[in-house]
Amino acid sequence: MNNKFDITRAPQVPPRAGAKIRSVETTSGGLIRSTMLSGVAALAVLTIVYLPSEYGIDPTGFGAVLGLTEMGQIKQQLYAEAEADAAATPVVLDPAVMARLDRMEAQLLAIGAIIGAPVTEAPAPTVETAPREEVVVVEPEPQAAPEAVSPEATPVVEDTATNSEPAAEAAAIEPAVEAAVAEAITSEWRDEVSYTLAPGEGIEVKLVMEEGQTARFEWTANGAVVNYDTHGDGSGQKISYETGRGVPEQAGELTAAFTGNHGWFWRNRTDAPVTMTLRTAGDYAELKAP
């Protein structure tokens, strides 16, 4: 019996021609060159796109041209506010600020004591006049009584004039003292700015400072509260000094960690407009405000 499926008797079919395959020659120098080009491209993307858009760091300057640096700064401010909202820490005034407030209070008390001194001494002549009048009245000689009364009448008038002099002096001193106090308070600060923030609105004010310079500051929400972030940037560096949530005011000193712009960002998270007032003094080149 013949086997129809006998492979040994099947006709031989020539194999099909395969597709042409070309090999690519590679060398160690080519691989190194390709790796270096890839690294340069990645570094360019990192410095031109990623760092400005994510962290607000722009070492090349292209991020500012493309608008990526501003986007990164806004992101960092939002991150800082979120962290402050998550962990709000109580604000403790610096001991130097408390000492300065104590000195100002002592100066005001001293001024009040100077103004009140003449007024407290004024009634003294009237007290001395009364005994002299009583001695004259009990004089036994009838003729001496008129003579004694008439000389004593004049001192009474003089005492009245004397009483009015300290009051006039006090009235003249008060405006001068008030002007001196106002001038001392005004001259204590170098710059002062105020802004009104609508609900949800934020604002940033910076001081141009060299590394190691120290500036004194005082800001207040004038009866309201704000969220704030004290930070600095410049020379390719960035730092966050302090953040707070729902703070009515703050005073202290700001020392620049590096050369650049150092200052504050405030945001009004309340439902009503808030007026912000900032006063600064000390070592800085200029105040940069909107």
Q: Which residues contact 145 (CB under 8 A, 6 or more apart)?
A: 136, 137, 139
Indicate the length of the chain as a whole number: 290
Whole-number pLDDT of residue 210:
95
Cα–Cα separations (whole angstroms), residue 223 to 126, 220, 227, 247, 248: 49, 8, 14, 10, 7
> Rounded to whole angstroms, how far apart are CA atoms 212 and 214?
6
Nearest Cα to 206, choosing from 215, 53, 64, 70?
215
Cβ distance 228 to 246 under 8 Å?
no
Q: What is the pLDDT of residue 157?
A: 45
pLDDT at position 250: 96
Q: What is the pLDDT of residue 90?
A: 54
- Position 153 scores a pLDDT of 43
**Is 219 within 8 Å of 280 (Cβ atoms)?**
no
Please say whether the structural domain 190-288 has been given the CATH code 2.60.120.680.
yes
Give me the pLDDT at residue 75, please: 85
Burial class (CB in 10 A: 0-12, 13-18, 19+), 212: exposed
pTM above 0.75, yes or no: no
Instruction: Walk along the chain (290 residues) and give the pLDDT tens digit of each residue.
Output: 566 666 666 666 666 655 566 666 778 888 898 899 999 999 999 999 888 888 888 888 888 888 888 888 888 888 888 887 777 655 556 677 787 788 888 888 888 777 765 444 444 444 444 444 444 444 455 554 444 444 444 444 445 444 555 555 556 566 665 655 555 555 689 999 999 999 999 999 999 999 999 999 999 999 999 999 999 999 889 999 999 999 999 999 999 999 999 999 999 999 999 999 999 999 999 999 88
Identity of the amino acid at 236 = G
